Amino acid sequence: MTFRLAIVGRPNVGKSTLFNRLVGRKLALVDDQPGVTRDLREGQARLGPLRFTVIDSAGLEDANDDSLQGRMRRLTERAVEEADVCLFLIDARQGVTPTDEVFADILRRKNAHVILAANKAEGKAGEGGWIEAFGLGLGEPIRLSGEHGEGMEDLLGVLMPLAEEFEAEDRNTAEQAPETDVDLGWSGEETEEDEEAPSEDWRPTERRPLQIAVVGRPNAGKSTLINRIIGEERLLTGPEAGITRDAISIPTTWEGTPVRVFDTAGMRKRARITDKLEKLSVSDGLRAVRFAEVVVVLLDAETPFEQQDLRIADLAEREGRAVVVAVNKWDLVPDREARLQALKEAFERLLPQLRGAPLVTVSARTGRGLDRLHAAIVKAHEVWNRRVSTAQLNRWLLGMTEAHPPPAPGGRRIKMRYMTQVKTRPPAFVVMSTHPEDVPASYERYLVNGLRNAFDLDGTPIRLVLRDSGSKNPFKGRKAKQPTALDKHLKG
């Protein structure tokens, strides 16, 4: 049985620290300044025998307008309504504040299962705040320390009866459901066929969704685009630049394809990043790029291909990810045909290492172009996983070297004898050659471009390694055998 637990409370009461403790990893950004968390982050928690979904939320602010704080509050209130259990945290060292009292009253009305916990309650410093928490009328508060792991047994003791209650409700629902003889497909359990499935099967499934990271400069529309893809206002958006801080991953099914989409913080030039929290946010986004399979570099149609856009795209290529370039806010562009031609020319000129990568125009606000973006991502993922047979490669290599023979530095003709693909994701090839250290970079580019054209590998990073295949004397380096007395006698 699994259930959803939402952690809520004022800013800086330790929600993200407790979230990281429950999931067993440092997924959420943590800092001393209040208001670090803005979006909802979900994770799979483990607490004793319990397995459940835990939700880290933004700090509850006393704001009901359309300001950033007001939008954050509405997002948190929605998480409270959708959760099965709400864990309301207060800061035991500060005690109960008037804001805590207001939100305690809200939680009583919104969620049937509210657990009150006094966090940062280690030592005598938190004793007074823990006693004050009794006055909120939410039952006996739990003394917790998310940072040091204290009070986890008490939290388990409160959650266990609720988990059993949810499990009983599920059993009753299943017993009352009508019988059916319709095959409902996958049951969610592994079968022998699943276990024997070949590892080369790279196609996305529910258990292995396609990992997509959306990256770009601040205010390019990354969160708005992801909200449009998943079909709900799941991520915080607005006119302010730099709203997103954490790299949030959201599983969904997009036009029949199981995907997990990562929203990342906007990446500015390194020289402009002076705030510690922004450095943590950018590092979190870079980690999402390394975990992704396809990276969508989102550009602003009004200012495309700025220096930072080029750096971000180059980073994705160096990390070996499949890259799709999407130009957002296309609905605001006047002369679209001429503008698109100019974008394509700039793309080929400024990013030659991504030659052939798809360039898609979209509007995250209206949803136009999302079907083309989906098709481009699926195609880029397929190319990223493509494998070419050794026989095809060697026939191709023979034709390439006959059409344009390798150079002969110092009068020594370089011979390329054999080629094979050693891995995918991205495609990597090894060429066995004589004098590989003398092969110029221009000839390597000639081979890489030939691979793209011959095997439809446009847009994906290609790794080409040259290794020495020269004939070696097997006895080179061995010590000469010393003659025995018999050898000397026979020779004499």
242 annotated as a binding-site residue: no
C-alpha 267 chain-centroid distance: 15
Residue 217 labelled as part of a binding site: yes
Q: State yes or no: 254 annotated in a binding site.
A: no
Please state the rounded mean pLDDT for residues 305-331: 93
Q: Is 411 annotated as a binding residue?
A: no
Is 223 flagged in the annotation as binding?
Answer: yes
* 222 is annotated as contributing to ligand binding: yes
- Annotated binding-site residue? 328: yes
Residue 199 has pLDDT above 50, yes or no: no
pLDDT digits (tens, 9 = 90+) for 322-349: 999 999 999 999 999 999 999 999 999 9
Quote the percentage of the chain above a pLDDT of 70: 81
> Residue 12, annotated ligand binder?
yes
Of 385, 417, 445, which residue constitutes the final position of a domain?
385
- Would the annotation count 221 as a binding residue? yes
- Is 428 annotated as ligand-binding? no
What is the distance between the alpha carbons of residues 70 and 61, in angstroms, rounded to a whole number?
A: 7
Rg (CA), the chain: 30
Asked if residue 424 belongs to a domain, the reply is: yes
**Closest by alpha carbon to 433, among 405, 474, 473?**
405
Higher-confidence residue of 331 and 108: namely 331
| 181 falls within a domain | no
Confidence band of 195 (pLDDT split at 50, 70, 90): very low
| 18 labeled binding residue | no
Question: Is 241 contained in some domain?
Answer: no
Q: Alpha-carbon distance 455 to 450, whole Å?
A: 8
442 marked as binding residue: no
Residue 10 annotated as part of some ligand binding site: yes
How many structural domains is the chain composed of? Answer: 3
57 is in an annotated binding site: yes
| 252 in a labelled binding site | no
Ligand-binding annotation for 385, yes or no, is no
- Was 227 annotated as part of a binding site? no
Question: Is 424 within any annotated ligand binding site?
Answer: no
Q: Is 58 annotated as a binding residue?
A: yes
Which of 152, 173, 194 lies at the terminal end of a domain, its last residue? 173
Residue 20 among known ligand-binding residues: no
Question: Tell me: the pLDDT tens digits for 29-45?
Answer: 665 565 556 567 888 99
Report the largest interatomic distance among the alpha carbons of the chain, rounded to a whole angstrom. Answer: 111
Q: CATH number, domain at 429?
A: 3.30.300.20
Q: Does residue 139 have a known ligand-binding role?
A: no
Name the pairing type of β-strands 248-254 and 210-216: unpaired
Residues 410 and 345 grouped into a single domain: no
The answer to whether 330 is annotated as binding is: yes
Structural tokens at position 437? 């250290």
Same structural domain, 164 and 299 = no
State the pLDDT at residue 173: 55
**pLDDT of amino acid 288:** 85
| Burial status of residue 183 (CB atoms within 10 A of its CB: 0-12, 13-18, 19 or more) | exposed
For residue 183, the 8-state DSSP code is -
Write down the pLDDT at residue 485. Answer: 64
Residue 375 is assigned to a ligand binding site? no
Please give the residue range of the domain that contains residue 405: 390-468
- 51 and 169 within one domain: yes
Q: Any residues with CB less than 8 A from the CB of 369 and at least 6 apart, and which?
A: 330, 360, 361, 362, 363
Listed ranges 1-10, 192-201, 280-289, 294-303; the one with the highest mean pLDDT: 294-303
- Among 233, 237, 262, which residue's Cα sits nearest to residue 249? 262
Question: What CATH number has the domain bearing residue 283?
Answer: 3.40.50.300
Q: Are 132 and 258 part of one and the same domain?
A: no
Please check if 120 is assigned to a binding site: yes
Which residues fall within 8 angstroms of residue 149, CB to CB, at 6 or more apart?
21
**482 vs 165 pLDDT, higher one:** 165
284 is in an annotated binding site: no
pTM: 0.74
Whether residues 167 and 215 share a domain: the answer is no
What rounded mean pLDDT belongs to the chain? 84
Are 13 and 126 found together in one domain?
Answer: yes
Greatest mean pLDDT among 67-71, 184-188, 302-306: 302-306
> Which carries the bigger pLDDT value, residue 479 or residue 285?
285
Q: Which of 346, 361, 385 is the last residue of a domain?
A: 385
Residue 15 assigned to a binding site: yes
Is 290 found in the same domain as 219? yes
